[in-house]
Structure 1
């Protein structure tokens, strides 16, 4: 007997239900308990070494959202969705950031920072002498997309619509939100809420290459 909290059929149903929502219902807000779960899906997202080289900015201020529309190719989802999350990297992750992570690890696991020195050295060694050419900010960006995937999947399982957006001007987002002075840089945005009636994209068949063309067993 499976201990899975949902069935395979339920998972596939929600993944097929999900689509990049083009038109949100501005009158429908995500309930607090649902949003709290989605917020935690961001916090609980996996990352390399568990380092979390990111921050998620939830833009609630409607005036700021209006400013962001012109830097989002005019896409109305930025305004109409219940919530707008901006996914940003922590720029230039360094030894000091790793030390902060070690301190947090010691706090959560009730151990000493000294006992974590070996783990800390592994991470710092990877950053200082990587096994392959490494652009630290590009590496952090890849981590952010993991978080976005977890967030979108979590939303789908909760019946919440999302729209991942790279069609934005990251530098302008940074400017409007004041991210540069905080040490962060925008990667992408993802509105979340509930689809509006009449969004024809909701009923279009999902186009994917055949499974056998995309999955190869070796």
Structure 2
């Protein structure tokens, strides 16, 4: 499927076929895509919780404004941010760079020191907002890959993060949930699957500068 055809095929699935389960190969593709998504400075202040547990999904539905997608989806992906992005977190990133790329420390050190000092000046709320922006980048990547893999998905902001965090014990992992993405296969009777996409004309959203 071409990229444009896949994006036209994609829609925010309102009703999943609960009898259909995504093969583990598809889940692995999404895990890899999440890990490869672009993030600011490459710091990846994110983690992905992958849920394939119907009882847990039923419990989470109660904290998702009773949206049935959470319960009927094959899997539910919860995009989380790291609550603590500090000097240790940044230094660990540069250790990975040095190990994987064999970049000399003298090359890395100036940028490493800049980031450490820069993040020290930021308020916790500012760092959290920055991390949430990275989660939206990851969501965009996941939605696009879902479309090309013909995986149905429904991006959701409508849920109670504190209740999710409590039920999934995210606080113990230094994480905070920010986005939810039920995935699976659309139900045949989901009326939204056949509706035409409503988008502004291309010439209204694109500005060409020659």
TM-score where L is the length of structure 2:
0.92
CA deviation digits over 1:37-64, x for unaligned, max 9? 1110001111011000011011123222
After TM superposition, where is structure 1 displaced by more than 3 Å over at least 4 residues in a row?
110-115
Q: Is the 8 A contact 2:37 2:137 kept in 1?
A: yes
Provide the C-alpha distance between the structure 1 equivalents of 2:23 and 2:53, rounded to a whole number of angstroms. 18
- Root mean square deviation of aligned Cα: 1.7
1:211 counterpart residue number: 202
Match of 1:191 among 177, 182, 187: 182
What is the CA-CA distance between 1:111 and the residue it aligns to? 4.4
Deviations 1:149-203 (A, max 9, x none): 0011001001111100111011111111111121111101001111010100001
Unaligned ranges ≥5, structure 1: 1-5
Q: Where in structure 2 are the equivalents of 1:140-159 lying within 5 Å?
A: 140-159=131-150
CA distance in 1, matches of 2:76, 2:176: 16
Shift in Å, 1:128: 3.4
Q: Secondary structure of 2:119's match?
A: helix
Of 110, 117, 121, which residue of structure 2 is paired with 1:118? 110
**TM-score normalised by structure 1 residue count:** 0.89
Q: How many residues align?
A: 207
Following the alignment from structure 2 to structure 1, what is the Cα–Cα distance between the partners of residues 113 and 201?
44
Aligned mates of 1:44, 1:62 — CA distance in 2: 28
Query: What residue ranges of structure 2 are gaps of 5+ in the alignment?
Result: none
Residue 44 of structure 1 corresponds to which residue in structure 2?
A: 36
Matches within 5 A, 1:1-218: 10-111=2-103, 115-129=107-121, 135-218=126-209
